[in-house]
Amino acid sequence: MRFIVSTSILLKQLQSISGASSSSTVLPILENFLFEIKDNLLTISATDLQTSMVTSLQIEAKEEGRVAMPSKILIETLKTLPDQPVAFSVDMNTLAVEISAGDGKYKLSGENADDFPKIPVVDNISTVSLAAPVLLEAINKTIFAVSNDELRPAMSGVLVQLAEQSITFVATDAHKLVRYRRTDVGADKPTSIILPKKALTLLKSSLPSDDVQVSIEYNNTNAFFQFGNISLICRLIDERYPDYEAVIPRLNPNKLTVDRSLFLNTLRRVVIFANKTTHQVRLKISGSELHISAEDLDFSNEAHERLSCQFEGEDMEIGFNAKFLVEMLNNLYCEEVVLEMSTPNRAGLLLPAIKEDHVDVLMLVMPVMLNNI
């Protein structure tokens, strides 16, 4: 088996799917890329058994064949080569691989392609199509709120609820919750699936920034994403997602409207002086003044700042983990935000002051109990 390809083109393709491969000590074959040639089309696959990525490119090849090659050494070699044609020769009996580039020759040992796990195939699927920027925004808005708690597998992914006239992405770790809904897209058949965090992280890094349509196909066990010449296949999290609607407070008479960037920068400064374990900040709202403070009694550190704001409701004092508020404000792209609250011991809702067309973003943050000294 022999083929010729440009180093820069091959490197770009390998880097786009390398995140799916695994440095597994149990299954060393997962540290390889699977190369398959058929009809002058080179298909390269990487997998960790849960998530797989496949890319393909046209090449010059006289023979067809399949071989697995070690991913790390391939990428590191291609990174150091200038942009030039590189020839791969594989002895299909010994699986020895020889790479010729310019005046250099490099040899490495391949693995039997039959040992490489089979990539899941599409069957009994439903389909929905999303523009890449829309899917990217949905991932960016929710992925930071996904739980890392292995004892709650359902919350270690993002819930995607597909309805006829909307698509909703939800993530929560029990301290914060994000719901991102689009009403300009929909699916033929209402359903909900839970996408794992790793697959979404890989999508985030490989989705194109231009307005390419991403085809999303899914069945009971897997989701298949197709864009350009890249496919990503991931196993769905087979768990029941918690009833998140039940924790979103409906009546929030106290509404604080404040400049997002001012609020964000103030919190970043004040949290430096907060307790390093709780990151607790105190918000005291009276009239059109927001007083933000933090203290660390162990080190006698404290910080106080005042911001002007608009406030509807009764004066109140409430505590939050500033790290959560900073994460949320970082992911709201608007000039002003509204913080809706009911009582100091109930969740607060962070929303954009002006809603975009067809987009509904809701972020919920649980309060922390204040020590009233």
Answer whether 305's CB lies under 8 Å from 268's CB.
no
Per-residue pLDDT at 373: 44
Phi-psi domain of 254 (left: phi exceeds 0; alpha: psi -120 through 50; beta: other)? beta
Q: Tokens representing 257?
A: 């409207």
Answer whether 41's CB lies under 8 Å from 58's CB.
yes
Q: Regarding the domain with residue range 248-368, which homologous superfamily does it belong to in the CATH classification?
A: DNA Polymerase III, subunit A, domain 2 (3.10.150.10)
pLDDT per residue, tens digit, the chain (373 aa), is: 999 999 999 999 999 999 999 877 688 999 999 999 999 999 999 999 999 999 999 988 888 899 999 999 999 999 999 999 999 999 999 999 999 998 999 999 999 999 999 998 878 888 999 999 999 999 999 999 999 988 899 999 999 999 999 999 999 999 999 999 999 988 888 999 999 999 999 999 999 888 899 999 999 999 999 999 999 999 999 999 999 999 999 999 999 999 999 999 999 999 999 999 999 999 999 989 999 999 998 899 999 999 999 999 999 999 999 999 999 999 998 999 999 999 999 999 999 999 889 999 999 999 998 775 4
Fold topology of 126-245: DNA Polymerase III; Chain A, domain 2 (3.10.150)
Domain ranges of the chain: 2-115, 126-245, 248-368
Host H or E run for residue 244: none
Q: Tokens representing 204?
A: 């985030």
List residues bridging with 15 in a β-sheet. Answer: none
Q: Regarding the domain with residue range 2-115, which homologous superfamily does it belong to in the CATH classification?
A: DNA Polymerase III, subunit A, domain 2 (3.10.150.10)
Cα distance between residue 198 and residue 33, in whole Å: 18
Adjacency order of strands within the sheet including 126-131: 65-70, 32-38, 41-47, 51-58, 230-235, 222-227, 213-218, 126-131
DSSP state of 237: P
Answer whether 291's CB lies under 8 Å from 281's CB.
no
